[in-house]
A and B are shown apart, each in its own frame.
Chain A
Amino acid sequence: AENEPSWETPCTELLVYISTPGCDGFPSLDSKENYKLSVSKGSMLLSAETIWGALRGLETFSQLVGRDENGMYYINETEIVDFPRFPHRGLLLDTSRHYLPLRAILETLDVMAYNKFNVFHWHIVDDPSFPYESSTFPELSKKGAFNAMTHVYTASDVRTVIEHARLRGIRVIAEFDTPGHTLSWGPGAPGLLTPCYVGKTPSGAYGPINPIVNSTYKFVTSLFQEVSTVFPDFFLHLGGDEVDFTCWKSNPEIRAFMTEMGFGEDYKKLESFYIQRLLDIVSSLGKGYIVWQEVFDNDVKLRPDTIIHVWKDNNMQYVKEMANVTRAGYQALLSAPWYLNRISYGQDWIQAYKVEPLHFEGSPKQKALVMGGEACMWGEYVDVTNLTPRLW
C-alpha cells in the first residue's frame, strides 16, 4: 500500500541495567530514582543506579509505547535523562473515617506507581474506627473497629500492603495519630483516654489521650514497639494535630497537674509535654518521625531530622508556614493546597497543578529542606465506591 511507514527492526527487548543491584530492600527517603532511557533502532536501554530508578524508567517506557490503527505497537526514537525534583511524593489515604477494603488500597498503589508517587501515607486509625489489628493489644480493633470481623486489617493484610508497595518502589509510612483523633482507641484501652468532666462528675465522654498517667506512656511504648517492627520504613507519622483542650480543661486531675508543672492555663504546654515523651519513645525505637505542623507551631522540642507536615490552608497561610518551618531548620512536607477530598465543580486539577511548593520567602538552603509533599484524600465522604474517580 502507498504511504506505509517503513518499519525499522522490530524492537523486542528492553535491556535494563542497574548499577547497584538488589531487589530485596525497601525504598527510603534517600533512594536514588534517577534513570536514563535510550530508544534507537536496534536497541532499547534503560539504565539506573538502583532498582527504584529502574521502576520509574519502566513506567516511563510503558507510557512511550503507542499503538496504531492496525494494532501495531511502536515506540519513537527517544533519549531521556530523568530524575524526580522531590524525593517524597506521597498520597494519604484515611482508613478510619471509612474502612477501605484491601483491594482498594492495592489498586491505589498501582495507580500511584503509574504516577510516580513513592510514599503511601497510611492514616490508618482515627476517632471513628480502629481497623488496625494489633498483636500486642488485640482489644483495640476488637472494640474499636466498625466491625471486628469484616472491617479490619490483619497482620497479613498489612504485610500484603507493604510488599505490594515495595514492589512498586513505594514506601509505606503509617500514621498513628495522637493525642487527639483517638476516640476509637478508648473502648479497647480503658484508662487511655482522658475522662471529661461536668463540674465534679465524669460526663461519660472522653477526650484526647491522658497525658498525666504513667500507664499512657507504658501503653504508647508497647504499641509503638509493635508498630516499629511491623512497618519497616525508617519514618513513622505521629500525628499531633487538632488537639481539643476542652476535655483536658474539664478534668480536675489534669488541672491539678497543670498547676504542679507550672503550665498555668497554657494547655499547649501539656500537649507538648505528651508529644515530647512520645517522640523520645519513638526515637529510642530507632525510628524517625513526621508530625503535623501543630507540633512545630506549639514549640515542642524536636529532633533535627523531624519532618514537619504542613497542612493548614486558611488564606494561603501555608506559604508562611513553609518559610517558618524551614527557617527553623526542619524538613517540610507540603499538603495544604492538595487536600483532594475538598471537591469542587470543574477542572480543579488546575489549582493543584499551579502550586509551586518552593514559592515562599527563604534561602536556597531553606528551600532544600522541602522534601516534597502529599496529596491527601481524607475519608469523611470517601470509601471504595468513589475513591478512585475522586483521586484520579
Chain B
Amino acid sequence: YLSVSEPVAVLKAPEVWGALRGLETFSQLVHEDDYGSFLVNESEINDFPRFAHRGVLLDTSRHYLPLKTILTNLDAMAFNKFNVFHWHIVDDQSFPYQSIYFPELSDKGAYSSNLIYTPADVRLVIEYARLRGIRVIPEFDTPGHTQSWGKGQKDLLTPCYNGQQPTGSFGPVNPVWNTTYDFMTMFFKEISSVFPDEFIHLGGDEVDFSCWKSNPEVKEFMKKQGFGTDYAKLESYYVQNILDIVSSYNKGQMVWQEVFDHKAQLKPDTVVQVWMANNYAHELSSVTGAGLTAILSAPWYLDYISYGQDWKKYYSVEPLKFSGSEKQKKLVIGGEACLWGAFVDATNLTPRLWPRASAVGERLWSSSNVTNLQDAYKRLRHHRCRMLSRGIAAEPVFVGYCAHEA
C-alpha cells in the first residue's frame, strides 16, 4: 500500500518483500521536470502480484556468465518485480559450479579454471538476490544434460555400447548403479545446504534413451525391473529416487514437464515447469488436472530471437487460458522467462533479455485485464529509458530516443 501526499508519503507492507516492491513502484513514480526538479504526483496505490512465482532463467553452462553479469541482471529483475532467479548452472557443455564435496566436477568440467563459481561467488549471488527479494532456485539437471559431470566424476554417466564394445562416449546418468545414488545423495546434501531456498530444480528434460538402450547392464536391469522396452519407466525410476533423496533434505522439487509426462510418481507439492511450445495450454490442463502446481515458460523462451517487436507476443500470453476448473487455475503459480545460453554470453545478455522480459514481468504481476498493447507500448518505452538511466543496457523497443542514452 503506497500513499503519496503532503507532507509525507507512506509505504506499508505486511512483509519486507512487499516493501521492496513498493519502493520500486515509488521510485518509478518519481519523475524529473524540465528544470531538473524531482516530483511525484499525489497517489494512492494498493498493489499485489497476480502470480507468486515470477522468474528469469539464466544458463551459465553453454556460456559462462561473469558474476557482474548475473548481479546486474538481478538489478534489472528487481526493476521489473521479478522474484525468482532460476539458475540453470550446469549442463552438457560445462560445469562451472565449484562443489565442496566433489571439487573434480568443476576442476575437470568447467570450460577453464577461471570460469567457475566458487562458494563465495554463490553466496554473493544469493545475498545480492535476497536483498532484492529474489529467490535463487538452482537447477542441477539430470539424468540428461550431464556430459560435463562425467569429466570429473568417473562412472557417473552411462557408457554407450556398440554391440558388446563400449564406444568411449557416454550418455545420461547411469540409473542402474548404486554408486550413482550414493553420489547424488552426497551431492544434493551439499546443494541443499548451499542454496537456502525451499526448492531445488532437478531438471529431467530431454533424456536421450539411445545410450541406455545400447548398454547391456541397463538392458539387463530393464528386464529385471519388468520395464519391458519402455525406457520412460527407467527414467521415472531414476527421477523418483532423486526426488526421494532431495525430499529427505526437506527441499521441494521443481522439474521440467517430461518428468510428469513420463508418469514418474511426483510428490504433491512438486512444481512442474511447462516448456514445450506445442500445445502448452493442454499440458497446463493435464498438470493441474493431476493436482500438481505448474509454472509456464513455453511461450517465453526469450533466446528465440526474431526481427521486430516480439515483446508484443510475450505480453499477449494469458497463462490461465486453458481448460480447467477454478481450482486447477489456482495451481498455476506463475512463470519464467528463459534465456538459454547457446548464443548468449556477457557480450549480448542484457540487451537480449531487456526490455523483452519486462513484458513477461508485467504479465505475471499485473491483473489479467491489463492487456492493452498501445498503452503497454508507451509505458514499456518509458520503462526502457528508465532502465537505461539505471545502468541496464536494455535494447530499444522501436525508433526513437531516450533523454539519457546509454
Contact = CB atoms under 8 A, between A and B. Distances in A.
Q: Is the A/B pair a real complex? A: yes
Interface of A: 97-99, 101, 128-129, 146-147, 150-151, 341-347, 379-386, 388-390
10 contacts: A98-B399, A146-B400, A147-B403, A150-B405, A345-B305, A383-B395, A385-B350, A385-B396, A386-B396, A389-B348
Contact of A381 (B343, B393, B396, B405): B396
Contacts of A98: 396, 399-401
Given A128-B399, A386-B348, A344 B405 contact: no
- Interface pairs A-B: 6 shortest CB-CB: A389-B348, A386-B351, A146-B401, A386-B395, A385-B393, A97-B399
Contact of B396 (A101, A146, A342, A383): A383
Contacts of B20: none
Interface majority SS on B: helix, strand, loop or mixed?
A: loop
Contacts of A381: 307-309, 395-396, 398
Contact-size category for B:
20 to 34
Contact of A342 (B307, B405, B406): B307
B299 to A, nearest CB: 15
Contacts of B308: 381
A129 B395 contact: no
Which of B309, B351, B394 has most A Cβ within 10 Å? Answer: B351
Contacts of B406: 383-385
A386 B349 CA distance: 10
Contacts of A99: 401, 405
B405 A101 contact: yes
Contacts of A342: 307
B388 A385 contact: yes
B347 interface: yes
B305 A380 contact: no
A151 B350 CA distance: 23
Contacts of B343: 345-347
B303 interface: yes
A379 B304 CA distance: 20
A380 B401 CA distance: 11
A341 B347 CA distance: 17
Nearest to B303: A345
B307 A341 contact: yes
B306 interface: yes
Interface in B360-406: 388, 393-396, 398-401, 403, 405-406
A328 B65 CA distance: 53
Given A342-B307, A343-B306, A344-B306, A380 B394 contact: no
A343 B388 CA distance: 22
A342 B309 CA distance: 12
B405 A383 contact: yes
Contact of B351 (A147, A150, A385): A385
A87 B30 CA distance: 54
Nearest to B387: A385
Given A385-B388, A385-B395, A385-B406, 14 more contacts: A99-B405, A151-B401, A343-B305, A345-B305, A346-B343, A383-B406, A384-B405, A384-B406, A385-B351, A385-B396, A386-B393, A386-B396, A389-B347, A389-B351
A385 B304 CA distance: 19
Contacts of A390: 348
A345 B307 CA distance: 9
Contacts of A389: 347-348, 351
Contacts of A382: 395-396
Interface string B323-359: 0000000000000000000010001101110000000
A27 B141 CA distance: 56
Contacts of B305: 343-345
A383 B394 CA distance: 10
A146 B396 CA distance: 15
A269 B167 CA distance: 71
A141 to B, nearest CB: 14
B338 to A, nearest CB: 13
Contacts of B403: 147, 150
Contacts of A341: 307
B66 to A, nearest CB: 15
Contacts of B398: 380-381
Nearest to B306: A344
A101 B405 CA distance: 9
Contacts of B393: 385-386
A114 to B, nearest CB: 15
Contacts of A379: 399
A345 B304 contact: yes
Contacts of B304: 345
Given A381-B396, A385-B351, A386-B351, A129 B401 contact: yes
A342 B307 CA distance: 5
Contacts of B401: 98-99, 129, 146-147, 151
Which of A97, A98, A342, A347 has most B Cβ within 10 Å? Answer: A98
Contacts of A383: 395-396, 405-406
